[in-house]
Structure 1
Amino acid sequence: MAGERTGIRIVVTGDRGTGKSSLIAAVATESFPENVPPVLPPTRLPADFYPDGVPFTIIDTSSSVENRGRLFEELKRADAVVLTYACDQPMTLTRLSTFWLVELHRLEVKVPVIVVGCKLDLRDEQDSVSLEQIMGPIMQQFREIETCIECSAATLIQVPDVFYYAQRAVLHPTAPLYDQETQSLKPLCIRALRRIFILCDHDMDGALSDAELNEFQVKCFNAPLQPAEIVGVKSVVQEKEPGGVNDLGLTLTGFLYLHALFIEKGRLETTWAVLRKFGYNNDLKLKDDFLPVSSKHHPDQSVELTSEVVEFLHGIFQLYDTDNDGALQPNELRALFDTAPKSPWDEAPYEYAAERTAMGNLTIKGFLSGWALMTMLDPPSSLGNLIYIGYGGNPASAFHVTRRRTVDRKKHLTERNVFHCFVFGPKKSGKSALLSSFLGRPFPDNYTPTTCQHYATNVVDQLEGTKKTLILQEIPEDGVKKFLSNKEALAVCDVAVFVYDSSDEYSWKRSKELLLEVARQGEGSGYGVPCLLIAAKDDLNSCPISVQDSIKVTLELGIEAPIPVSVKLRDFNNIFFRIVSAAESPNRGIPETQTGRNRKHYRQLVNRSLMFVSVGSAVAIVGLAAYRAYEARKNSS
């Protein structure tokens, strides 16, 4: 079934007396009815009426003023609109552009429009103006017009064709594929067809051999091409597009030319059959059911790429790193995503989140950690983009859902390869500078407040040669209250760090407040996380009060002493390694407030009391059982 649709709704509208009802009655009965009601009830035609096998319902409408509201409701529910005029009434033709098409724009009815001239048998024979001359200027102005056709319900001339074109405009629309003005394929269509070409070019030689072309034909149309047909196809391409064929077979240029030719000749169903076989919907994006990503997991679980996918990404990086310099230039990165609807890293939060060279080229570490970030934040988009760029493995096994953090804490061990760290701190404490330094960027000369989501992700080398991906997420001070209002906010966090300006007493006090807020939230929600304090701007004179108070606070909370760091002097004190190490020990470094200790002590007392009650009850039960046994033996003797 084309496009997997279960039905199509076609609304017929136009001026009074243009033949709407007669047109509908004629197609339904295959005859010209003598007496037709002013407005017919919905007319449903069966699935086998046209070859595409999709049933459709035709809605007749009244153009009277009193029924205008009902007309507007029907138009907004339409999959396609058949807009009629009467061939013997020139004024109704004029009304198409002066009223009806303008009204469809006002109502934001964004569906294909089929313009139909009814009562062809009544046209004045002396009128020699062609339909193309009449409708050409109107179609230039109103691009939603898919087709124009004239018919006669009285003589049944082209009546079935009207609704065939309407159905085809829904099932095989032109607009997503082809630009009528430039007479060329649209960019999204080219991207989709390029991906299909690459997937079918198994030997990756840049051309479809006869065997590959035949395999493509069988996959899409369940029928092989005969040798003579393959020769014929290549001859047609070579005649009009010399670069479309080479010694190895049909090139991408030739593949695109063939589809443009199909569309120009009205064979849109051919191109759509290919696109749908490879998972595309009418928006030229992969269908949801083509991306089987399960979103059902606990809040304290995360999603990571499997080793198979990481290996695939390594290969893709090397393939598009054409100059072998270990980094993707902007043009190489664009080429990599030429088969996707767009590059996913051209906008926030991915655009500036990964490591690049001084020239702005994406390193392999930046490339892989960027994919890790997208997989963590938006698994369906990550999977979709993997498939767009050519991943051919089982989509269901592309990702790994990690073990719950609560379980990791009990086991004192984590098996994760990607760690998510929240970075808290007051304004001007050095949070953004820390994130930038993680990506190897120079120390900023001017302060710029963070106003949107800000991430930095990179690969961190650990002991024994292991590598972990660390994702730093900056939490702006102004957004902390709203952020923590979500009881599960800390569930996704592996480590929380609190940055403060070590030379500013207020900065320390505010950072301490944030630390206590997070500690209380963790204790209350059950999602406590390891916490680290970072004493930033260590190149400046430290505030004595802050030094003394910070030691006291860390001892009280049972966490590590503040780690001095100077981003300006690039003295990081191994901070990123230490953040990852804290994440690898999920049971350690979790702050415990006095309230939390009291609550813990109370639970221990309650549990101990319950244990005593249980033991006492057990003793009583055993004693009662022994007494009953004694009484039984006594009575029997």
Structure 2
Amino acid sequence: MPSRSAAGVRTGVRVVVAGDRGTGKSSLISAAASDAFPEYVPAVLPPTRLPSDFYPDGVPVTIVDTSSSMESRIKLIDELKRADAVVLTYACDQPMTLSRLSSFWLPELRKLEIKAPVIVVGCKLDLRDERQPMNLEQVMAPIMQQFREIETCIECSSATLIQVPDVFYYAQKAVLHPTAPLFDQEKQTLKPRCIRALKRIFMLCDHDMDGALSDAELNEFQVKCFNAPLQPAEIVGVKRVVQERIRGGVSDLGLTLEGFLFLHALFIEKGRLETTWAVLRKFGYNDELKLRDDILPVPTKHAPDQTVELTNEAIDFLRGIFRLYDSDNDGSLQPSEFDDIFVTAPESKTLEALTIYFYCFNLLIFVFFPWTVDPYVDAAERTPQGNLTINGFLSEWALMTTLDPSYCLANLICIGYGGDPTSALRVTRRRSVDRKKKQTEKNVFHCFVFGPKKSGKSALLNSFIGRTFSSNYTPTNDVRYVANAVEQIGGSQKTLILQEIPEDGVKKLLSNKECLAACDVAVFLYDSSDEYSWKRSRELLLDVARRGEESGYGVPCLLIAAKDDLDPFPMSLQNSARVTQQLGMEAPIPVGVKLRDSKSVFSRIVSAAEHPHLSIPETEKGKKRKRYRRLVNSSLMFVSVTVGAAVAVVGLAAYRAYAARKNT
């Protein structure tokens, strides 16, 4: 049974109790449930449920007893892997069971990759030898240092009911309000992801954007998170605590970001994690400090030949963000201005790994905005100084929307998109429908760039984003993307995404039946001075054409004769013209080595994508298949007409016979 609702809210907590035999597991569970010491308990209790009103959080707790015998090991492992929290027990009157925690149980949990928080519980406190007192904090400190998964240590007595309810309260609290995502116990600091989340919340609550929360804004924040206003004296008290403990935590305008972060670090240090978690969850964060799925209504049910684009409303918001953070009004964003935009942004999987690496090794943590890693790095137009233009800014967003709509929407929300999240993205019409209607409504076109090695693919991509031509050859081993705006005749502007497909990766790409579903247009480059390059490009074109015919996802295709200003190999023009004519495509587009006048090339690529019913190559096999279908359809039509005529004749004869009988 799931322990979360559709919105990610906990509907129950499952606590598994494990430990050596005879440490008091079953007695602890029975005493907690009945508030009395049991005279007799079975070896292993059935699952015990504490009702939702047992603890203040109002979430029911299911406690699962286990056996440590070898015969029950498989069941024990299964229960541990299903646990939300694990209670490990030792007996206060049996020191050996305490040492077994670090020698067996805790390493075993790691071996099984159990990620649940651990509560270490000393049972039978009433039986401890008073002549051998023990300082729990001193004994457990080195163990907790070694095993960070331990959340709390506590001792109790089922016989005298000392601290018995507290055991499962701490277990529930460790699940509902975990420390690990928020706070680094060793460094005594908030973790980077927690800081980003709290910064976003601060910025959302700072309505006048003056860098501080005024008394009115603080009160509004309090009401939103806790449904209760702050009294004036309470606001004064909060600010006094911050002023006394951190310089710059309070300004003349109110509570600063530094003060806001300090307050939450203080709550956590004082054990009031529920306060910080209440704030985070109110603003849409889950236990991993990522925005919940219900906050990110990304369209997921769509056909393979449909894509996701930003709506005009989202694009207008992004234009406003660009203007807001372009502090020097030079029409481009510097790295420092990027830092300001994406300081609250979520990290991608790649960025998450980098952040963890830097954090774990105590290295300087830079602000990783979303486009510092592949596939976004170096994928858009920049100024000679390396700043991002407005076209580059919007093109990066278009690329991110195409490749990872969920990540795009999370970034939009985190940088302050205040509209309905469902209004930020739209699903395009199916390309198969576009072909039938002979037009498309898309604003972003995805183009696959094929070609053999040294045909000029990378040079074409670099030219598209304004990179200067380089004669140095560097092979592309991985898929690469670039994106930019393309002005069309009539003043309309579309975004074109070029995806370079390495020659060695074509076979793997085409092995996927739906590989061409999201492709709006494909171009095939060849070095017009190299006969092998032409033959290989033609092979790639035929492979793609066949895959399109087999899958039903045929795409418009264009041939580009690169390095046209070099001496062409004999029969170059004739061969390429003949092939394009046979396949029903446009004639090859000539382009020089340095691609000085390449704008028209990109305009023609977009034009081909805008007319999805044209320039789709047809192989001889495809033509035969089409002729066969036409023949079958015409035959069926002939049979239908013939049968219809026969039925009419028979009907007329029958009517005449009936009329004759009637007259006689």
When normalised by structure 2's length, the TM-score is 0.91
CA contact (8 A) 1:434 1:567 kept: no
Counterpart of 2:191 in structure 1 is 186
Q: How large is the Cα RMSD of the aligned pairs? A: 2.1
Aligned counterpart for 2:450 among listed residues 413, 417, 424: 424
CA contact (8 A) 1:209 1:248 kept: yes
Counterpart of 1:55 in structure 2 is 60
Counterpart of 1:260 in structure 2 is 265
Shift of 1:335: 2.8
What percent identity do the matched residue pairs reach?
Answer: 73
CA contact (8 A) 2:299 2:427 kept: no
CA contact (8 A) 1:62 1:71 kept: yes
Aligned counterpart for 1:272 among listed residues 257, 274, 277: 277
Letter in 2 for 1:144: E
CA contact (8 A) 2:463 2:595 kept: no
Counterpart of 1:44 in structure 2 is 49
Aligned counterpart for 1:233 among listed residues 229, 232, 238: 238
The answer on 1:503 being equivalent to 2:529 is: yes
Counterpart of 1:197 in structure 2 is 202
Counterpart of 2:541 in structure 1 is 515
CA contact (8 A) 1:11 1:74 kept: yes
Counterpart of 1:404 in structure 2 is 430
Counterpart of 1:308 in structure 2 is 313
Quote the Cα distance in structure 1 between the aligned partners of 2:599 and 2:381. Answer: 20
Aligned counterpart for 1:77 among listed residues 79, 82, 92: 82
Aligned counterpart for 2:341 among listed residues 324, 336, 341: 336
Quote the Cα distance in structure 1 between the aligned partners of 2:428 and 2:599. Answer: 30
Quote the Cα distance in structure 2 between the aligned partners of 1:69 and 1:615. Answer: 71
Aligned counterpart for 1:172 among listed residues 168, 174, 177: 177
Shift of 1:7: 2.2
Quote the Cα distance in structure 2 between the aligned partners of 1:423 and 1:606. Answer: 37
Quote the Cα distance in structure 2 between the aligned partners of 1:47 and 1:448. Answer: 64
The answer on 1:249 being equivalent to 2:275 is: no
Letter in 2 for 1:116: V
Letter in 1 for 2:624: N
The answer on 1:444 being equivalent to 2:449 is: no
Counterpart of 2:558 in structure 1 is 532
Quote the Cα distance in structure 1 between the aligned partners of 2:296 and 2:172. Answer: 28
The answer on 1:603 being equivalent to 2:629 is: yes
Give CA-to-partner distance per residue, 1:99-140, whole Å, 9 cap, x none.
Answer: 322232222222211111222223343545532222222222
Question: Aligned to 2:309, what secondary structure does the other structure show?
Answer: strand
- Structure 1 stretches of 5 or more lacking a match? none
Counterpart of 1:356 in structure 2 is 382
- The alpha-carbon distance between structure 1 residues 11 and 600, as it changes in their structure 2 partners (threshold 3 A), is closer
Letter in 1 for 2:327: T
The answer on 1:594 being equivalent to 2:599 is: no
Question: Aligned to 2:517, what secondary structure does the other structure show?
Answer: helix
The answer on 1:541 being equivalent to 2:546 is: no
Quote the Cα distance in structure 1 between the aligned partners of 2:240 and 2:562. Answer: 70
Shift of 1:98: 2.9
Greater CA deviation, 314-323 or 425-434?
314-323
Shift of 1:305: 0.6
Give CA-to-partner distance per residue, 1:16-75, whole Å, 9 cap, x none.
Answer: 332222211211111112233333332222222112122222222333445444433332
CA contact (8 A) 2:545 2:617 kept: yes
CA contact (8 A) 1:191 1:339 kept: yes
- The alpha-carbon distance between structure 1 residues 24 and 481, as it changes in their structure 2 partners (threshold 3 A), is same
Counterpart of 2:581 in structure 1 is 555
Quote the Cα distance in structure 2 between the aligned partners of 1:124 and 1:527. Answer: 79
Shift of 1:261: 1.4
Quote the Cα distance in structure 2 between the aligned partners of 1:607 and 1:503. Answer: 46
The answer on 1:570 being equivalent to 2:575 is: no
The answer on 1:383 being equivalent to 2:388 is: no
Give CA-to-partner distance per residue, 1:427-461, whole Å, 9 cap, x none.
Answer: 11111221122111122343222222211111111
Counterpart of 1:26 in structure 2 is 31
Shift of 1:292: 1.4
Aligned counterpart for 2:109 among listed residues 79, 104, 107: 104
Quote the Cα distance in structure 1 between the aligned partners of 2:109 and 2:475. Answer: 46
Quote the Cα distance in structure 2 between the aligned partners of 1:227 and 1:360. Answer: 49
Letter in 2 for 1:441: R
Question: Aligned to 2:248, what secondary structure does the other structure show?
Answer: helix
Counterpart of 1:471 in structure 2 is 497
Query: How many matched pairs?
Result: 637
Letter in 1 for 2:585: I
Counterpart of 2:219 in structure 1 is 214
Question: Aligned to 1:604, what secondary structure does the other structure show?
Answer: helix
Letter in 1 for 2:203: I
Greater CA deviation, 493-502 or 246-255?
246-255
Aligned counterpart for 1:374 among listed residues 378, 400, 403: 400
Quote the Cα distance in structure 1 between the aligned partners of 2:633 and 2:68. Answer: 78
Letter in 2 for 1:23: L
1:135-174 correspondence runs (5 A): 135-174=140-179
Counterpart of 1:16 in structure 2 is 21
Quote the Cα distance in structure 2 between the aligned partners of 1:198 and 1:61. Answer: 48
Quote the Cα distance in structure 2 between the aligned partners of 1:167 and 1:80. Answer: 8
Greater CA deviation, 173-182 or 335-344?
335-344
Question: Aligned to 2:115, what secondary structure does the other structure show?
Answer: coil
Counterpart of 1:130 in structure 2 is 135
Question: Aligned to 2:516, what secondary structure does the other structure show?
Answer: helix
Aligned counterpart for 2:373 among listed residues 325, 347, 354: 347
Letter in 1 for 2:634: R
Letter in 2 for 1:584: E
Poorly superposed stretches of 4+, deviation over 6 Å: none
Question: Aligned to 1:464, what secondary structure does the other structure show?
Answer: coil
Quote the Cα distance in structure 1 between the aligned partners of 2:628 and 2:30. Answer: 81
Aligned counterpart for 1:483 among listed residues 494, 504, 509: 509
- The alpha-carbon distance between structure 1 residues 46 and 632, as it changes in their structure 2 partners (threshold 3 A), is same
Give CA-to-partner distance per residue, 1:556-615, whole Å, 9 cap, x none.
Answer: 222221111124252426211111111112222222233333333333333333333333
Shift of 1:538: 2.1
Quote the Cα distance in structure 2 between the aligned partners of 1:107 and 1:245. Answer: 47
Shift of 1:175: 0.4
- Structure 2 stretches of 5 or more lacking a match? 348-368
Greater CA deviation, 83-92 or 253-262?
83-92
Greater CA deviation, 487-496 or 521-530?
521-530
CA contact (8 A) 1:437 1:567 kept: no
Shift of 1:239: 2.3
- The alpha-carbon distance between structure 1 residues 514 and 25, as it changes in their structure 2 partners (threshold 3 A), is same
CA contact (8 A) 1:505 1:545 kept: no
CA contact (8 A) 2:445 2:606 kept: yes
Letter in 2 for 1:355: E
Shift of 1:166: 0.6
The answer on 1:614 being equivalent to 2:640 is: yes
Counterpart of 2:300 in structure 1 is 295
CA contact (8 A) 2:314 2:423 kept: no
Letter in 1 for 2:518: V
Letter in 2 for 1:363: T
Greater CA deviation, 405-414 or 277-286?
405-414
- The alpha-carbon distance between structure 1 residues 107 and 301, as it changes in their structure 2 partners (threshold 3 A), is closer
Letter in 2 for 1:32: F
Letter in 2 for 1:198: M
Quote the Cα distance in structure 2 between the aligned partners of 1:355 and 1:293. Answer: 28
Give CA-to-partner distance per residue, 1:224-283, whole Å, 9 cap, x none.
Answer: 222332222222222222422223222222221111111111111111111111111111
CA contact (8 A) 1:243 1:251 kept: yes
Letter in 2 for 1:374: M
